[in-house]
Structure 1
């Protein structure tokens, strides 16, 4: 079974491109366009990984990570921030909040889809 990746991104062209690349690499992307829809997608089967934008309608990516890490069933799901916030202090804040990795926009689509 393909690994499920929750892609949380409010910009449709970026979300669609990331999902396309993931599908081409054998993953099963699940799309969420805002904070609330991302929270609603946290159900079984759990995603194996979350690609998460920082700036979202309805809440921030950091708020989402805090929500995720509070729950016993979701706290171990790896999170990769995929964001335009590229300052060193933003990267540190994202990682300290609980992100496992941090990719800044613009990014290489191959870099997103190539990690198996």
Structure 2
């Protein structure tokens, strides 16, 4: 893949990367500091799939400078949502606004040549 081509296969791999990154982060509390072996193994398996998908994406020609800012912006936002919904974590509006602003800055920074 050259820099200007974005195939359905690569879009699928980006989706796999996003989902596995978010799933892995959401599994961290279940590992109990890596003392719960089944959840720890699940976490490691999900991260393995995640890193495989990242390697495949980069190998296909998609620049790291494009994919990593997307991951850096979306995974924390999704993690907050998972923490609030599944782990009953408190979140303030200020935290959400600051994180969304940071995501915007990440996107802006990745667009700068």
TM over 0.5: no
Between structures 1 and 2, the one with greater helix share:
2
TM-score by length of 2: 0.29
Instruction: Report the TM-score when normalising by structure 1.
Output: 0.29
Higher strand fraction: Structure 1 or Structure 2?
1
Where relative contact order (Cα < 8 A, 6+ residues apart) is larger, the structure is 2
